[in-house]
Structure 1
Amino acid sequence: MALLTQLVPVIMVLIAALMLVGTLGPAVEWLERRRVGRLSAITLVFASLLLLALALAVFTVPAFLMQVTSLVEQEPELRKRAVSFLASYPLTTSLAGTLRHLQYGALFKSYSTEAVAFSKSLLSIVAYGAGSFFLALYIMIDRARLRGALFAVVPRAHHMKLSRIMLNLETIVGGYVRGQVVTCAMMAIFLFILLSACGVQNAIAIAAFGGIADVLPFVGIFLTMIPAVLAALASGSAAATVVFVLLLCYEEFESRVIIPIIYGRALRLPSSIVLFALITGGTLYGIGGALPALPVAATLLMLAEELKLELPGETAQPDDVTTDRNDVIGEAEYLRRTEGMTAEASAGVALEISEERKVKENAEAAEADDKSPDYGAR
């Protein structure tokens, strides 16, 4: 346990690398189906990801620094407006007095140590991120050998279950990361349009920050709202109010409509589990722990379901009986098709059978939804 505690950063790097593999794997397979060599497909996908990250840094970091400089220069006027706004309401009069007499020198001095520690943590995150990128690259290149080694240490009778778990992991991780990319991009686009319409300068920097912060459900909106409202305050209190209200409306629309559509059945987590997982990950390892909290929680629930961990008082359901029967049929077919094969070759056959079965089950589930009485109402 002490060794695992010391290796937590390494484990986080491995988790991040596996998340990248699950996200980029479908793109590599798509290129392979179009007769692009696997090594060429991997090189193309990872090079595109690297170029995209560099382009985002080039277009956002200088603009963000300019925005910060502009906010610092406008600080006296912004503080004056904020004090006037707070003083107009009895409940916030004391806050107006505190803000009016706030001394930044003492504030910066008290937080100088924390700022240095944060800078070191930021550099560590960048270094670990680079390590995750290259580890994911090597995992993709050595996929067949790594998969064969994993199947070699697992008894042959459990290969079908292992292959199904691997496919479910790919669905969970890939669906989560791709969903995050889409929702973050939509938040950044919405925020850029909103701030540009309100006349905020360097809106692209705040929009980029808002898109990055949106990876944290429930919390990201507050991290986004503070700089957006402060920047809009320079254009007037009316612009700041519009930004505040529309961001709240968009957050409600995102959580109620966009996220369920984009994630679909990839995570299948109740809201209570989502919040608990985020609190647990954030408490243990900060933002770095909150980011993989949702796919980790979804993976644990999936493993409990696949490994048939029954709770006290739980009875077998018809779906469980059907799944067990299909497992027996699938294992018999797998043993017949892989007789005399190596573990590496057998892994490919197991994944092929599991994928065919998953496609069939998804089609049956969609057909059942179409025939359900409340489908039209939904």
Structure 2
Amino acid sequence: MRDVVVLGSTGSIGTQTLDVIARNPDRFRVVGLSAGGSQLDLLADQVRQFAPTVVAVPDDTAAARLRRLVGAAGPEVIGAGGNEELAGRGSAVVVNAITGAAGLRPTLVALAAGTTLALANKESLVIGGRLVTDAAAPGQLVPIDSEHSAILQSLRSGKRSEVRRLILTASGGPFRGRSRAELTDVTPAEALAHPSWQMGRVITINSATLVNKGLEVLEAALLYRMSLDDITVVVHPTSDVHSMVEFCDGATICQASPPDMRLPIALALAWPDRVPDAAPGYDWGTPRDWHFEPLDDEAFPAVQLARRCGRAAGTAPAVFNAANEICVDAFCDQRLSFLGIVDTVAAVVDEHLAGGHVGDAELSVDAVLAADAWARRRATEVIGRS
């Protein structure tokens, strides 16, 4: 029986994590939950179902409301700082499904506590960089992203020294095949219509711009200690093959399954073991076509911009991520065009690299969070002038 803390329990990954746990009560037990204040009714339902000993919410106001919802016999409820406190309580597994830079400190706290970190908050690894990888013991950091879970599984087929390159697959999003000129008038509703996955707003828009794939390239380089030059992105519209590893002898090992996040979630919870029937497999009696094509970097320049930030390292990835989050909100509020998302991020990154960039040698949590805050302010200013 593994005790599990779920940070971000009311989001897409959080709710699917709890679904996996509910179907495997002999393997996993929820001991802590955290969530933002916007879905306290759902959080209260989760508390009633899973009976955690402690729950964290953003502030004292949310804590007081949650106590009223769950009653006096409910769990301990923590306000501000609760994510870090839960992450450091020494549970067997911490699932970090928080959105954005707010996940960095809980990631570092969980690693310091020696807990297995099931990481869905890719931003904390991308912006934290070597701060996170240096803090992680071998096997302590297990990705939940379907692409990185696929790589982790495929790497079991050979020695690390035998790996030639990693191949990340991308669905191409809803605008695959369009030229840059054809993306001028894209609407938020169109961008939110992902062809393969049901996800939250930010990650869905990121998948449409390919920013998400850029973040995954940076994540793969850090997770697997790979050169950015040895990570390839290919477009695979059906999302059957979640990613691949090419070995030195020419063999390519892929992990394929129907698009269902419960599979990588279950693997992260049980790592290195598998959970039977975590998600449906294929009916191999039904014909399927697997198609792959190169990424159009002109129409979707986000991956190349991410590579540039990865080579600069230090605070550059934090600026990339933070500026993008501001731009996604502006696009969804119809204050910025679809193409303006990555164009604005690039402008903010250029300014940061020209002055204010902190390299890996001087990197600290404070420097990362300061760069994050600066990028948010600067992106807001740039959008306001557009």
TM range (shorter): under 0.3
Which fold has the larger relative contact order, with Cα–Cα distance below 8 Å and residues 6 or more apart in sequence?
1
> TM-score scaled by structure 2?
0.22
> TM-score scaled by structure 1?
0.23
The structure whose Rg is larger is: 1
Q: Give 1 or 2: higher strand fraction.
A: 2
